[in-house]
Structure 1
Amino acid sequence: MSIHAVSPLFVGRARELSALGDALVRARAGASSTVLVGGEAGVGKTRLIKEFTERAHDAMVLVGGCLELGTEGLPFAPFTAVLRGLVRELGRDGVAALVPGGTTRGLARLLPEFGEPDKEGAEARARLFEQVLGLLERLAEERPVLLVVEDAHWADRSTRDLLSFLVRYQRTAGRLLTVVTYRTDELHRTHPLRPLLAELGRIEWVTRAELRRLTRREAVAQAASILEREPSPATMDLIYARSEGNPLFVEALLNDAGGDDALPESLRDLLLASVERLPDETQELLRVASAGGQRIEHDLLSAVAGLDDNALSRALRPAVAGNVLVVDGEGYAFRHALIREALHDDLLPGEHTRLHTRFAEALERDLSILPAPRGAIELAHHWHSAHDSTWALVSAWRAAAAARTSTAYDEQLRMLSRVLELWDQVPDAGERIGGDRLSVLRQTATVAHLAGEYERSIALASAALDELDHEADPIRSARMLRQRGLTRYDLGRPGYVDDLRRAAELAPADKPSKVRGQVLESLSRMLHQPEDWREKIATAQLAMEIGHEVGDANVEAHALISLTWARCRYSEMESQLGAFAEARRIAAEGEAYNAVMRCAISESDALEGAGWHERAALVAREGIAEAEHYGLARTSGTFLSINLAEPLVSLGRWDEALEVVEHALDLAPPAPYRASLQGFATDIALARGQFDRAERLLDSSRSVLSRGTYRDQTVLPHLGREVTLLWARGETKSAVEAAARVMEGQDLRASPRYSWPLLVIFARLMVTVAPPGAPSAPFGAALAQLGAALLGRLRELARELEAEGDLQEAQRLTFAAVTGPEPAVSGGAESAAWQVKAWEQAVEAWAALRQPYAEAQCLVGAAQAALAAGDRQGAAVRLARAKELAGPLGATALLEQLDVFGRRARIGGGGGPEETAGGLPLGLTARELEVLREVTSGRSNREIAEVLFISVKTVSVHVSNILAKLGVATRGEAAATAHRLSLFE
């Protein structure tokens, strides 16, 4: 009776198989997800995936495995394998037709079949990632896609980064199920996959499954399937005790022992037993193959073994028949990595060196045996494992160049680091690679920056600068200073401007050069302080001229953007539009995609700052489309979503703005981008009275902003929202105190664009707690005193603050109307006339800007001012217009205020859910309204009882009813609601 090498029966995995099936069903319905499948070596992850994929009949199955190479994996190995499989199935042109943007030059970094890669640069890696996801999206439009990434414990950093990107953004891909397998027993405490698994595990659409060992009953079923008979209880006791339920070990023990009691003594013996039963020439060939890795191409194995095709096939056939090797495309793979590891570990030291040397020599003769960049990286691995310092250094240098082409920055950094480690062991190292050690240091510092190893980049740059003679070698010194300056800026470290200024001093100025243009462009971009503006303009102008002269479109376009931004006046926007258009043209013609995106970002931001909201939205939307075309939708595209949402909010297109925000948030943008996007959603929630939602959004933004240092454009709007929410919740004292902290801790003179809206919010708050000319303090004398003092400081600040452009002028006019006339203006009719005129000017300014919410807010003030001046008809007209504007916005808080004001003043109609039959607001009785008036004036229950000639107990009952009807918890919140709704004069 025969013995099967592998169990024909799939046992013990019904639950896991069902879970994967359910995930595929959800993917078919459009709900993409990821399943992380973990388990120890030999527990059956590969078998589970095989059984599952065979059942996924309607799905396109894409499988790629991570390949071990020494202690690291090959960069992008599983995705290269997936692409190669797609090319085999669909053809190169078929795949190219599915790539967004109409170009495959990003994918060329993974497969040479797609031609020459596009230009290198910071955006090259982002474009590659975008194109891989875009390809999956297009495939999923046709049918469900099942993407399997096996052995993620061997994944290099580049592979982990791309995998993380795909999982985060896969919700946009439609019908995509991603399955990732990994060995749990490999994940030691510092294993790099551990933090990624933890990070992905927090994503809503990611689930984890860990394969357990088989129970004894399941192991018996597996054994019976292999033996084609029930094993004896004694044999099964021994096998289960030794295997501990690991399916691979159960199979190996059964195949080795054949049911007898003689079992191997160690795991290594167990794994090698199936090899030792093979012919000697096959065993020798397997030892050779073990040095080549888990998977090895037929041609490479033939070259290393020195056998022709017939001899090689004859020697390998017993290994395939014995299920030690499996045929894998144009090569072979060990059925289980543990077998290869045991074989490789069993090599003697001399054999180890000799075999790796033979692999290296075979690859030196014909590197095309393996696809790029795998060939160069494997060559470096074999020379390093052969302990040949000279060729290990040379091959590492070449492998670094190959990794750069693939944007595998982490692998490139590892190869360059190896060059530096071996430098002193190779006397003629410089001649071998065509460069000196300082050149390697500079390149390694640059790559460390690209790989996100900022601290290491700074250390390498500093080490190079210590060795450089700045006077004798100014060009290289300037390059290193620029590199360190840029890295310090990204890390938020001081000294970045000093580095860039020193680099500008060293870069030779006798004739234009690319390095001088790059240094000056970087410096101009990093000068942000108002006192540096003149230097920024002069530096950008010079960088632009140099970039044009030396033909560096990237430098020329970026410098022109910096120059245009520095010169930009919100009151003179028309004159700047031509410069932005020219910068865009230069960048596009030079394929400087990063500059194209920056131009869209800067121009849309400038237009919004000028109050040109429609034009700002158009430029941002076109920029998002360009980002999709260039393969940067989820990087530059998500940033531009911020610049699109802002003008949409200004224009009152709130639902459209929320759609933009939600779509961008679905793409899981970087945390600072997310905070800015959520800020606009918070503004809308506050205006619509959705205070719980606003609180949740603010909490999320707060957690981001508390972990870093951000510019005024991010910080000041957030602080304004914090104060607004406190005030809306009735926590008026806390709101005033928060405003005081902002005024004390922030320089509100530095950024007028973001300071004016804050001044208006604070002014409205202070006028509420300290009404000018009011006989009493509704929130207590102490708070009124603080509010009055802060109002005075706000007036002083407003006098000092520039109002440049129509938008800031509208904010200034609103501030003036809110705070009222200066004391020099006498009271009575003169003051009332001043107030009417001030509010009318503010209303007209917002109407001209087409900002309906701000216009409606100012119309409330204008209506109140008209009523105070005795113009009831004018007040009614303004009130009606405010309702017309606020209604379509769903601005419930403002609409409620308008209704209450209209009823109280008996203008503009009435009626509403809050109004009782007697016409009183919010369901209050006449007596409750009287009590609320006294509560709002700050009186205690006893004082109210004395004023209204009722008992203290009756007052207490009325106060309880009032709190219930207003939906508030405290007397302070009730008073705040009354003031917000202007219930009383």
Structure 2
Amino acid sequence: MSAHGMGPVLVGRAIELAELTRALDAAPGAVLVGGEAGLGKTRLIREFRSVVECDRNGRMLVGGCLELGSDGLPFAPFTTVLRGLVRDIGLDGVAALLPRGDTGGLARLLPEFGDPDTQAASAEERARMFELVLTLLERLAESGPMALVIEDAHWADRSTRDLLSFLIRNVGTAPLLIVVTYRADELHRSHPLRPMLAELGRVERVRRMDVSRLARHDVAALCAGILGHEPDHDLLDRVYARSEGNPLFVEALLDSDGTLACELPESLRDLLLAGVQRLPEETQDALRDASGGGTRIEHRLLSAVTGLDDATLTRVLRPAVAANVLVVDGDGYAFRHALIREALHDDLLPGEHTRLHTRYAQALENDAGLVPPGRLWIELSHHWNAAHDATWALVSAWKAAADTRKAAAHAESLAMKQRVLQLWDRVPDAAERIGADHVEVLREAVRTAELSGEFEQGIKLVTAALREVGTGPENAAVRADLLAHRGRMSFDLARPGFIEDLRTAVALLPAEPPTRARADALITLARFGRLIHGTEEAREAARESLRISRALDDRIVEAHALHALACVDFNYSFDYSTGGMAGEGGVWLGRTRDIAEESGNQELQLQVAVTRSHFYEGAGQHELAIAVARAGLEQAFENGVGRTRGSILASNQAEPLVSLGRWDEARAVLSKAMEQAPPMSIRTSLFVLSGEVAVGHGDLAEAESWLRSAREVTWRKTQDLFAALRLEAALRIEQGRFADAVAAAGLVLECPELPDDARYAWPVLTLATMACAELRGTGLRGTAPPAPAVLDDRPALPLLAERVAALSVQGPLQEAWRLTYSAAATAADGVLERSAWDLAGAAWRDIGQRYNLAVALLWAALAAIHDGDRDAAGVRLREADDLARELGARLLLERVADLTRRARLGGPARPGDANGASLGLTPRELEVLRLVADGQSNRDIAKALFISAKTASVHVSNILGKLGVTSRGEAAATAHRLGLFREPVS
């Protein structure tokens, strides 16, 4: 029997199998296995299973994507995986692997876990389900290496692709290998899998594997496996020429008697059908019937469609199984290769095609138990549509839309609703049949489009619905709802007209009597309007929503209104007596927090965590910001919303880490957040912070790349626009492009009244002013001839000063920027004032910003040099040097060395200047040795350096060998004796 069929020997795939085995040994990770149809990807996976389960004593879970036209079944391969796992370890065994035994979150994948909520699944519930699947897989992998294989990803539905991408991006340290197979020849230019593969290919620990055609000697071995003896030279030549090395073609070309099937046509379809045609006629009929049910079909369903009883069907199919056209798969059958099914199905005449799918639909309607729960209506939708029955295709599509909505498969639900809309005019009584008129279907499709992120389509659907909805007062609520949807989606697509839609939505809803609908519309206007437009409109909208909530006695709406008010009137002044925001904003935020805690409302609690961490960072309370964001992030993951709300909190955790110079920690947080494919609304923050870490480390090319990414999504709000300009100004200064750094402030000058202006304007204006000093020749470089500092051909300094004069100063962080600006402006006027830079340095020291402190010390040292006070300059340079070394700020360290050299200050040798190079230690090994000397375990080292414990162990072993010692204690003693590390700065 063929080695690429069910034979014991795998032909021509030793390299691929070895690569999969190496990936398993190096897990966690993922391998994307592509190749044209018939190259033996499935056979390779079968052989790999023996490696996983026999050689490595691990576990493999396999699920295949199903092909049902363009519809697909949401999460189908994961349903298969879970069903197999339940068979292996039982429901209780699965529950034992999940936090608090919470299997309910998986009910949308497998009904055995409970009855999913009948309401539409929210984005948070969907994210929670994703997190549970990841947790389950990682817990399974704790007992040994594990492989999750998803086959035929070219047929994957949108939901399956989303979950698969999430798992690959977020797998932690457990030895879990994810293998994805797909047909490369199916991936046409617009195929939805193409961008996913491209994105995943850039993820660390993901490798691509292309399965190629067999060489001639491999075809010879394959023929020998099929025939049971070596083929003669002539036969091999003909088989190799005809098959072109495709194993499936080789199998189809060879007859069991050892001759070449010369009568077969050239195309694969004809080859495959020729093999089927050698079977008995009744078997061929049953196979043609089976082809309508997909690659795999349940025995009971095929029995119902064919009209054959169990015994007769078994007898009829036995020749197909013996010929390896069909393989037994659990309680059903699978075609040996999907192309066989496709060839059979495509060979049906139009009338046969219609009648076959009608029989499938009728069989399913007569007995819903023929398919697993949750699949009935989507399969009926597929079959009635293929049978060209517009009425029942519409009805079943509407019911399928409800089922897919419950499963949080929003993209598939949208496709079903669009089918209803496409068929509407062909079904005269459509509204009566589904219990909803055309406008309601459009509104449902709009809601689903927003949930699934299909904003362009959603806006078109809104526009279509608005054309049908009358403009009378009786339709005001419907029009307002549609406009609110369009406004939000327009905002996400960066379309400026969003605010007009939100305003109109509010205007359509009467103020009396007070309604929840108007309160919600007002809160939406306040939330989105404050980000770009003036705050007065947002403030009044929030106040009115607060009045409505109190009139309705609705505490949750009241909390949202109070939160909106606090955000509109954000105040970065820190109240040391309460540890929170000063003024009315602090009172409103405190009340919101109280209601959130008292009600247990998770959404409100996370909103408060986002706002508090944002406030603490803006107020210069970096440690508090980290603590609040970290706790909120943990809560977000516990509640299954790590990808949504958690991504915002990850940004809020990373920002203070960047401010404090804890760049490696920040990079780890940012990397994990970006791997989750976060919403577009927060990507700019992640990009900017990543760029600032790169600037700090001196990786300017990387910083430039992050800046390019940040520029793509910077229009929305001050936090995006000005933060990107902040990164640009800092980067241009490090590149010595001072005029460009000044130019970066141009948009800040043009946009003086954006919300949250001062927090984000101060850094850009200050950096631009420092660049003016460099251009004047009174900066840290001081080597280039002076050049004019201009903006739009006007002197830059007066423009910057005018903008600064209108800025408020709230909290210690903004005060530190103000003092730095003042010192820089004096330098740009040609005067270096040591006291001004010392004041700025003291402000940065008070809030723990070591990088900005080091920069201020450098400028203060420069001023001391100009004053002729070399001792004062030396003191400041030594501290700046210490800080730069602690931070790993390469360019800052070079600035210190350059200024020291130019001033001929020299400098005493330091024990900490030893770098371990003379001992043969690499920089990474020196980092590990530093932690060893601090008494850290391998697990602690791994956590601190974001590596695996195994890698830490390898580093420690290498260090012991290079130092010629036998224990960690001896290594630590040697490091201290040689003075490799200075005492930590308190």
Question: Fold match, TM over 0.5?
Answer: yes
Instruction: Specify whether residues 740 and 900 from structure 1 end up closer, same or farther in structure 2 by C-alpha distance, changes over 3 A only.
Output: same
608-617 or 836-845, larger mean C-alpha shift: 836-845
Q: 1:575-594 deviations in whole A, cap 9, x for unaligned?
A: 55564465456567878655
Instruction: Specify whether residues 498 and 100 from structure 1 end up closer, same or farther in structure 2 by C-alpha distance, changes over 3 A only.
Output: farther
Tell me the SS of whatever aligns to 1:33: strand
Tell me the SS of whatever aligns to 2:97: coil
Structure 1 equivalent of residue 481 of structure 2: 479
Structure 2 equivalent of residue 783 of structure 1: 788
1:801 is matched by which residue type in structure 2? L
Structure 2 equivalent of residue 361 of structure 1: 362
Q: Which residue of 42, 47, 50 corresponds with 2:46?
A: 50
Q: Residue 378 of structure 1: CA displacement?
A: 0.4
1:379 is matched by which residue type in structure 2? L
Q: Residue 227 of structure 1: CA displacement?
A: 2.5
Q: Residue 860 of structure 1: CA displacement?
A: 5.9
Instruction: Specify whether residues 102 and 806 from structure 1 end up closer, same or farther in structure 2 by C-alpha distance, changes over 3 A only.
Output: farther
Q: Confirm or deny: 8 A CA contact 1:123 1:593 kept in the other structure.
A: no
2:31 is matched by which residue type in structure 1? T
Q: How does 1:531-542 map to 2 (within 5 A)?
A: 532-542=534-544
Q: Residue 469 of structure 1: CA displacement?
A: 0.9
Give the Cα separation in 2 of the matches to 1:757 and 1:428: 63
Q: Residue 32 of structure 1: CA displacement?
A: 1.4
Q: Which residue of 498, 501, 522 corresponds with 1:499?
A: 501
Q: How does 1:117-266 map to 2 (within 5 A)?
A: 117=116, 120-170=121-171, 172=172, 174-233=174-233, 235-255=235-255, 259=259, 263-265=263-265
Q: Is 1:622 the equivalent of 2:631?
A: yes
Give the Cα separation in 1 of the matches to 2:70 and 2:817: 61
The RMSD of aligned alpha carbons is: 3.9
Instruction: Specify whether residues 794 and 778 from structure 1 end up closer, same or farther in structure 2 by C-alpha distance, changes over 3 A only.
Output: farther
Structure 1 equivalent of residue 650 of structure 2: 641
Tell me the SS of whatever aligns to 2:908: coil
134-143 or 761-770, larger mean C-alpha shift: 761-770
Instruction: Specify whether residues 593 and 351 from structure 1 end up closer, same or farther in structure 2 by C-alpha distance, changes over 3 A only.
Output: farther
Give the Cα separation in 1 of the matches to 2:688 and 2:714: 17
Q: Residue 407 of structure 1: CA displacement?
A: 1.8
Structure 2 equivalent of residue 36 of structure 1: 33
Structure 1 equivalent of residue 67 of structure 2: 68
Give the Cα separation in 1 of the matches to 2:672 and 2:39: 40
Q: Residue 664 of structure 1: CA displacement?
A: 4.0
Give the Cα separation in 2 of the matches to 1:479 and 1:749: 28
1:537 is matched by which residue type in structure 2? R
Structure 2 equivalent of residue 700 of structure 1: 706
Give the Cα separation in 1 of the matches to 2:170 and 2:257: 50
Give the Cα separation in 1 of the matches to 2:42 and 2:878: 70
Q: How does 1:869-948 map to 2 (within 5 A)?
A: 888-889=886-887, 910-911=907-908
Q: Residue 904 of structure 1: CA displacement?
A: 9.2
Q: Residue 437 of structure 1: CA displacement?
A: 0.2
Q: 1:229-276 deviations in whole A, cap 9, x for unaligned?
A: 344555555544444443223323333665377633465554334444
Q: Confirm or deny: 8 A CA contact 1:686 1:725 kept in the other structure.
A: yes
Q: Is 1:568 the equivalent of 2:574?
A: no
Structure 1 equivalent of residue 951 of structure 2: none
Q: Confirm or deny: 8 A CA contact 2:711 2:724 kept in the other structure.
A: no
Structure 1 equivalent of residue 91 of structure 2: 92
Q: Is 1:399 the equivalent of 2:397?
A: no
Give the Cα separation in 1 of the matches to 2:240 and 2:486: 60
Give the Cα separation in 2 of the matches to 1:198 and 1:4: 29
Q: 1:474-499 deviations in whole A, cap 9, x for unaligned?
A: 12111111111111111111211111
Q: Which runs of 5+ in 2 are unaligned?
A: 576-580, 911-986
Give the Cα separation in 2 of the matches to 1:634 and 1:205: 20
2:182 is matched by which residue type in structure 1? Y
298-307 or 98-107, larger mean C-alpha shift: 98-107
Give the Cα separation in 2 of the matches to 1:217 and 1:889: 58
Q: Residue 526 of structure 1: CA displacement?
A: 0.9
Instruction: Specify whether residues 176 and 509 from structure 1 end up closer, same or farther in structure 2 by C-alpha distance, changes over 3 A only.
Output: same
Instruction: Specify whether residues 53 and 558 from structure 1 end up closer, same or farther in structure 2 by C-alpha distance, changes over 3 A only.
Output: farther
Tell me the SS of whatever aligns to 1:109: coil
Q: Residue 191 of structure 1: CA displacement?
A: 2.9
Tell me the SS of whatever aligns to 2:34: strand
Q: Confirm or deny: 8 A CA contact 2:64 2:77 kept in the other structure.
A: yes
Q: Confirm or deny: 8 A CA contact 2:769 2:828 kept in the other structure.
A: no
2:530 is matched by which residue type in structure 1? H
Q: Which residue of 800, 810, 820 corresponds with 1:804?
A: 810
Give the Cα separation in 1 of the matches to 2:191 and 2:532: 46
Give the Cα separation in 2 of the matches to 1:330 and 1:39: 29
Tell me the SS of whatever aligns to 1:561: helix
Structure 2 equivalent of residue 975 of structure 1: none
Q: Confirm or deny: 8 A CA contact 2:128 2:640 kept in the other structure.
A: yes
Q: Highest Rg: 1 or 2?
A: 1
Give the Cα separation in 2 of the matches to 1:902 and 1:232: 82
Instruction: Specify whether residues 679 and 354 from structure 1 end up closer, same or farther in structure 2 by C-alpha distance, changes over 3 A only.
Output: closer
Instruction: Specify whether residues 841 and 101 from structure 1 end up closer, same or farther in structure 2 by C-alpha distance, changes over 3 A only.
Output: farther
Q: Residue 148 of structure 1: CA displacement?
A: 1.3
Q: Is 1:446 the equivalent of 2:431?
A: no
- Number of equivalent positions: 893
1:293 is matched by which residue type in structure 2? G
1:628 is matched by which residue type in structure 2? F
Structure 1 equivalent of residue 981 of structure 2: none
540-549 or 213-222, larger mean C-alpha shift: 540-549
Q: Residue 361 of structure 1: CA displacement?
A: 2.0
2:46 is matched by which residue type in structure 1? K
1:198 is matched by which residue type in structure 2? A
Instruction: Specify whether residues 551 and 277 from structure 1 end up closer, same or farther in structure 2 by C-alpha distance, changes over 3 A only.
Output: farther
Q: Residue 219 of structure 1: CA displacement?
A: 3.0
Give the Cα separation in 1 of the matches to 2:515 and 2:748: 47
Tell me the SS of whatever aligns to 1:473: helix
Q: 1:2-27 deviations in whole A, cap 9, x for unaligned?
A: 99985554322222222222222222
Instruction: Specify whether residues 32 and 676 from structure 1 end up closer, same or farther in structure 2 by C-alpha distance, changes over 3 A only.
Output: same
Instruction: Specify whether residues 860 and 424 from structure 1 end up closer, same or farther in structure 2 by C-alpha distance, changes over 3 A only.
Output: closer
Instruction: Specify whether residues 868 and 733 from structure 1 end up closer, same or farther in structure 2 by C-alpha distance, changes over 3 A only.
Output: closer
457-466 or 48-57, larger mean C-alpha shift: 48-57
Tell me the SS of whatever aligns to 2:180: strand
Q: 1:502-541 deviations in whole A, cap 9, x for unaligned?
A: 1112234434444333322221111126863232123224
TM score, norm. by length of structure 2: 0.81
Q: Residue 661 of structure 1: CA displacement?
A: 3.7
Give the Cα separation in 1 of the matches to 2:248 and 2:704: 52
Structure 1 equivalent of residue 380 of structure 2: 379
Give the Cα separation in 1 of the matches to 2:11 and 2:126: 43
Q: 1:132-165 deviations in whole A, cap 9, x for unaligned?
A: 2232222222222212111122222222232233
Q: 1:587-641 deviations in whole A, cap 9, x for unaligned?
A: 6787865554333222211121122222211111111111221223344333322
Give the Cα separation in 2 of the matches to 1:467 and 1:848: 62
2:658 is matched by which residue type in structure 1? V
Q: Confirm or deny: 8 A CA contact 1:500 1:522 kept in the other structure.
A: yes
Q: Residue 66 of structure 1: CA displacement?
A: 1.0
Instruction: Specify whether residues 261 and 600 from structure 1 end up closer, same or farther in structure 2 by C-alpha distance, changes over 3 A only.
Output: closer
Q: Residue 555 of structure 1: CA displacement?
A: 5.3
278-287 or 378-387, larger mean C-alpha shift: 278-287
Tell me the SS of whatever aligns to 2:810: coil
Q: Which residue of 611, 619, 626 corresponds with 1:610?
A: 619
Q: Residue 804 of structure 1: CA displacement?
A: 2.2
Residue identity (%)? 50
Q: Residue 402 of structure 1: CA displacement?
A: 0.6
Give the Cα separation in 2 of the matches to 1:343 and 1:37: 24
Tell me the SS of whatever aligns to 2:402: helix
Give the Cα separation in 2 of the matches to 1:5 and 1:665: 41
Tell me the SS of whatever aligns to 1:293: coil
Instruction: Specify whether residues 255 and 881 from structure 1 end up closer, same or farther in structure 2 by C-alpha distance, changes over 3 A only.
Output: closer
Instruction: Specify whether residues 911 and 116 from structure 1 end up closer, same or farther in structure 2 by C-alpha distance, changes over 3 A only.
Output: same
Q: Residue 871 of structure 1: CA displacement?
A: 9.2
